[in-house]
Amino acid sequence: MASDLNVAYESPLEELRSRRSFLRRTFNLFSKQPLGIVGGAIVLGMFLVGIFAPYIAPHDPINIAFENMLMPPGPVYPLGTDQFGRDILSRLIYGAQTALFVSFTAAFIGSSIGLVFGVTSAYIGGRFDLMIQRLVDVFQAFPLIIMALIIVSIFGSSVQNVIIAITIPFIPDCARVVRSTALALREIPYIDAARANGFSGARIVLRHMVPNVMAPYLIMVTTFAGHAILIEASLSYLGLGVQEPTPAWGLMLQGGAEEYAESAPWVAIWPGVAISLAVFGFNMFGDAVRDALDPKLRSQ
């Protein structure tokens, strides 16, 4: 008797053809969605900028030089300087590191915990499922930004606490979406066959259910990443997120959005453009990933 059960048995050649077919369909779907390609390019660009920030930033992002404060864009400082004489372009480049670290860490951890709760809740069912869903309802009753504000207010302002504050609201959203898919999987015959062969509940969940809910999971990760950037920027703008002198886009807005709106508008314009562009990129890329993983669109 086989040691494990799979949805389908494929030879190595058939598996290779299946992967190539999936990649071809994915490429075709992305090619039909130019905004998805643009979003992917923005996300890739953010990664490259964040990784190579020490090599491409023209100046030290935390070096204070009051003699250069509020200098307009020019040859030396292409995007100008802020109220402390720091180069805005360099702070934007390093701010991409902060945005990516916070957003992807929060999105990955929140979605992963939600994945475990959603699949486990659907598989066990009964009172356990009812209890988990009522807990999810309680968390979803609070707007995401309000929940994040409460958590940061309690635990304090730091990068780690910001990640926790953004992660926790993501968990119930992912758990609810994954559970809806896992409920349908629970009734499929191969799950009954796994039970009949004496497989443990943990093995069935991890080996047979989790791989089949990866599509909504990946969609949630990409979608949450864009939301996390916006939330992190909002918390930093309110003074509850990343603190000085760490380069962060929301923190840059806090320092110049109001006081220098007329005298030095570049202090607020460029961080706002960076935040908007990043959120747009992740949203468009997330939509393209959703369409690529949608079975209805893949069948066309």
Please name the CATH architecture into which domain 43-298 falls. Answer: Orthogonal Bundle (1.10)
Averaged pLDDT of the chain: 81
Distance, in Å, from the CA atom of 237 to the CA atom of 252, rounded to the nearest integer, reads 8
What does each C-alpha distance from 94 to 4, 35, 106, 271 come to in angstroms? 47, 26, 19, 12
Where do runs of H (alpha helix) occur along 62-211? 88-124, 126-140, 144-155, 159-186, 189-196, 201-204
Specify whether the CB–CB gap between 107 and 228 falls below 8 A.
Answer: yes
- Residue labelled with tokens 């961080």: 271
Distance, in Å, from the CA atom of 295 to the CA atom of 105, rounded to the nearest integer, reads 28
pTM (2 d.p.): 0.80
- What are the tens digits of pLDDT across the range 48-107? 998 999 999 999 898 888 888 888 898 889 998 888 889 999 999 999 998 999 999 999
Which sequence spans correspond to the domains of the chain?
43-298
- What are the tens digits of pLDDT across the range 256-279? 667 777 778 888 889 989 999 999
- CB-facing half-sphere around the CA of 300: CA atoms within 13 A: 10
What is the three-class DSSP state of 87? strand
